[in-house]
Structure 1
Amino acid sequence: MLCCPTVTLSNGLELPILGLGTSHNGGYSHEAVVYALQECGVRHIDTAKRYGCEEYLAKAVRESGVPRQDVWLTTKLWPGDYGYSNTKQACRASCARLGVEYLDLYLMHWPDCMVPGRSNREMRAETWRALEELYDEGLCRAIGVSNFLIPHLEELKEDCSIVPHVNQVEYHPFQQPEEIVQYCQQQGIVFEGYCPLAKGQALSHPTILKMADKYEHTPSQICIRWSIQNGVVTIPKSTKKKRILENCNVFGFQLEDTDMVSLRMLHDGRHVTWDPTHVP
């Protein structure tokens, strides 16, 4: 059973450093989520309205028998729902689909607001004000953003009163946005990484395969361990029980400093998912 360390948010909440990610297009399995909760001790699940599985997740959490207060549930607000009143409606709708009275973490999913005639900065600020109120009301225990770069975070800091508790960004050996990581640390924002296996691309890299042999762990365990050892909250996705168990077994070993450096050298800037670089 997983004994997972936590990371402390700026408001004092404890977020499990390892979670289970979900996604759309086949990225959800009811059996796998129940297994993760019951058999692996996973207590942190990440989803989004965009993925279309909030209602399924409600059933899985209920079936697992794990008390609501013991499960950290993160979901995300899609840009189509940005704006003050839309945001409040969308949050309540996500709660209803998830069968919960509150969310542990609610994230703005993407920095581009896609609203004709309104600037991204204006829409992000308006949306964030709604999130701040949802937080004050207790509907969200923590609020944050996803895929936000330093300029986006700087604008939000100038326009609003609560600094995001979390920024969730693509993070794996080939994509190490160190400037954002350091900025978040300086601002008291917990950095959370998704796609830790680079959608499988990292699993066949010679350096990672060599380390897997050395530590007698799988390539995915090497990648997840590296991410966690860097202090990054890590949310690998899988719909297979065997893989979920494997991904959870990363706390019984530690990578040596020289190997941490070797993995740091693999950064080549590639994205395996959306790239927010050109979003104003």
Structure 2
Amino acid sequence: MATYKYTLASRVTLANGKTIPQIQLGLYMMSGKEATKTIPWALGAGYRGFDCAQMYHNEREAGKAIRDYLSSSENTQGLKREDIFYTTKLASNGTSYDSVRRSIKESVNVSGLGYVDLFLLHSPYGGKEARLTSWKAVEDAITDGEVKMGGVSNYGSAHIEELMASEPRVAPVINQIEVHPFNTQVGIRETCAEHNIAIEAYAPLARGMRMKHPKILALAKKHGCSPAQLFVRWSLQHEMITLPKSVRKDRLVENASVADFEISKEDLVAMDDLDENLVTDCIPHGIHLLESIAEGKGWTVGATEDSSIFTNGSFSEYTTLVFLSTTGNFLNSSESAALEEFLLNGGTWLAGDFGDELPAWYNKLVGGQFRSHPCVNDSVCSDEQLSRYPPGGNIRPDIVTIQDADHPSTAGLPTSQNRTDEWYAYKSNVAHDVHYTVLATLEETYIDEITPAEFEHMDPHPISWYSLYEGVSRAFYTGMGHTIESYAEEYFIRHVTGGLEWVTGA
């Protein structure tokens, strides 16, 4: 029996004395259609908090879904606007105060909700001047009544200290960051606690990427809950606000049904020890980058997490497919067949990540399946870097060496570049296969669980490559881009832009 029965009615008191629902629905990457369908389900189930963002492109639909429910016969509880907690976020920090103020006003107006309960700066990108200017705009939006309270998202400890050192008129009450047992973010959480800033955990389920981990399965069985419920309960017992996301009615209910069990102190520590610095939040930043590239080329960009797009007819208008992150066998048989047909008919493909347990044809398209996160090459790490990326973490500095400087994705890039990312080791080596052309390699040293034969097999260590799938479809893969910082890095942006130009023939 649980000591504290966390429910959808549970609320957290923030530093400003106001309260916020502790379990909310994340609207990340929901299409407008999905938000329109899902939000009424969530309200009916008891959800009172909804986390939106300009970058999600669903503010209008989310606001309308809330308004429509409140005025409908489904609202048997008699809910009013003040009973709903609505969050949205600024897509890009700016040095123009007026531009940021206009952007905040537009979010309020688009939602149609009259005001925003919590407005966040979505990322620290843009530099110090942009961060502090954007925060001043949030402060004034609070003063003018457009926003009730303000916060930040994806801020590291240095960004928090910078903001607090500026002596803001209104202090941030929230830092929304990716937190789950596989990325515990202890340092940032401690910094925020020192400044009375609450932690809001997005991707609390690790986007499903570790649901089958043996320890998670064992603890879920022990506590008589699902892995998702275990993840949610973990974040709640660490006193965080949590934002599980689902577009399925049954999963909405399941994710929030965590009142009847409690994770023991020993099991909580065991889950904490699973920390591997797993970052899953590159997707919205990847979408933002693709939109920025497309804007200058007259391309249309669509984004979804729904693989049925391949079979429901809505994919037919596109010529190029980009996979930002996949895991497991994410395609059913009909979707797999439809995707292969798209490629065989000349459709093109670019990926920065991929799943495993997939059909043989897809493995041939990709070229190499994820094996593990290799250990660090100490010879290229300074003492400062080693202190930041200690043993056990996956985000490491390494040297990227260009092998083909004539390709659009590598033309003009430095022959050798020291950069930090979450690196991959692969089950097979495309450098030994004539069907693929390696663009860039790593000077990675494998030292864990690698036999001499395997070491020789992975030498050289490819990290970007391209191929012509079945002689008709251009396919480009890069193993870079697994950190949020990558998407503000000129080197990576040029690499991806060139890859897109090649696959599209632009």
8 Å CA contact 2:132–2:163 kept in 1: the answer is yes
3-state SS of paired residue (1:112): coil
**Partner residue, 1:100:** 113
Counterpart of 2:68 in structure 1: which amino acid? E
The DSSP-based 3-state class of the residue aligned with 1:4 is coil
Q: 2:30·2:58 contact (CA, 8 Å) conserved in 1?
A: no
The worse-fitting range, judged by mean Cα deviation, of 94-103 and 219-228 is 94-103
**What displacement does 1:80 show?**
6.1
CA contact (8 A) 2:93 2:131 kept: no
Three-state SS of the structure 1 residue aligned to 2:210 is: helix
Q: Distance in 1 between matches of 2:143 and 2:279?
A: 35
What does residue range 10-25 of structure 1 map to in structure 2 within 5 Å? Answer: 10-24=15-29
1:156 to 144, 151, 163: 163
Contact 1:148 1:276 in 2 (8 A): no
Verify the 8 A CA contact 2:35 2:65 in the aligned structure 1. no
Instruction: Considering fraction of residues, name the structure with more strand.
Output: 2
What is the aligned counterpart of 2:141 among 131, 134, 137? 134
Structure 2 residue matching 1:239: 3-state secondary structure = coil
Pairing partner for 1:198 from 203, 206, 212? 206
Q: Which has the larger radius of gyration?
A: 2
Q: Please tell me whether residue 35 in structure 1 is matched to residue 35 in structure 2.
A: no
- Alignment of structure 1 residues 73-222 onto 2, 5 Å: 73-79=86-92, 83-113=96-126, 120-161=127-168, 162-222=170-230
* Unaligned ranges ≥5, structure 1: 114-119
Give the length in aligned residue pairs.
Answer: 272
Distance (Å, rounded) in 2 between the aligned partners of 1:55 and 1:164: 25
Q: Which of 225, 230, 253 pairs up with 2:238?
A: 230
Contact 1:194–1:234 (CA under 8 A) maintained in structure 2: yes
Kindly provide the amino acid, as one letter, of the partner of residue 149 in structure 2: A
Instruction: Please tell me the residue identity of whatever aligns with 1:203.
Output: M
Q: Give the whole-Å Cα distance in 2 for the aligned partners of 1:196 and 1:222.
A: 10
Cα distance between partner residues in 1 of 2:215 and 2:135: 41
**Cα 1:82–1:105, aligned 2, differ >3 Å: closer, same or farther?**
farther
Kindly tell me: are residues 53 and 277 of structure 1, through their superposed partners in 2, closer, same or farther at Cα, counting changes over 3 Å?
Answer: closer
TM-score, structure 1 length as denominator? 0.92
Q: Which residue of 1 aligns with 2:54?
A: 49
Paired residue secondary structure (1:50):
helix
| Runs of 4+ in structure 1 over 4 Å off | 276-280
Mapping of residues 263-278 of structure 1, within 5 Å: 263-274=271-282, 275-276=483-484
Contact 1:129 1:160 in 2 (8 A): no
Per-residue CA deviation, residues 35-76 of structure 1 (Å, 9 max, x unaligned), is 1001x1100100001101111112211222231100000000
Q: Kindly indicate whether the alpha-carbon contact (under 8 Å) linking 2:95 and 2:129 is maintained by their aligned counterparts in 1.
A: no
Residue type at the aligned position of 1:93: E
For the 8 Å contact 2:24–2:49, the answer to whether it is kept is yes
**What SS does the aligned partner of 2:147 have?**
coil
Residues 1:252 and 1:177: Cα distance change in structure 2 (over 3 Å): same
**Separation in structure 2 between the aligned mates of residue 183 and residue 277 of structure 1, nearest angstrom:** 20
Deviation for aligned residue 1:26: 4.3
Structure-2 separation of matches of 1:62 and 1:31? 13
- Percent identity between the two aligned chains: 33
Shift of 1:159: 2.1
Q: 1:180 to 1:56 in 2, by over 3 A?
A: same
1:128 and 1:160 in contact (8 A); partners too: no
Q: Runs of 5+ in structure 2 lacking a partner?
A: 1-6, 71-78, 283-482, 490-506
Deviation track 1:182-237 (CA, whole Å, cap 9, x = no partner) reads 11111010111100111101211111111111111100000000011100110011
Answer yes or no: is the 8 Å Cα contact 2:95–2:134 preserved in 1.
yes
Q: What is the rounded CA distance, in whole Å, between the counterparts of 2:95 and 2:110 in structure 1?
A: 18
Q: Which amino acid aligns with 2:259?
A: F
Q: In 1, Cα distance between the equivalents of 2:273 and 2:231? A: 13
Q: Separation in 1 of the partners of 2:35 and 2:128? A: 37
For residue 441 of structure 2, what is the aligned residue in structure 1? none
For 1:132 and 1:263, locate their aligned partners in 2 and report how far apart those are by CA, in whole Å. Answer: 38
Alignment partners' CA distance in 1, 2:27 and 2:256 = 15
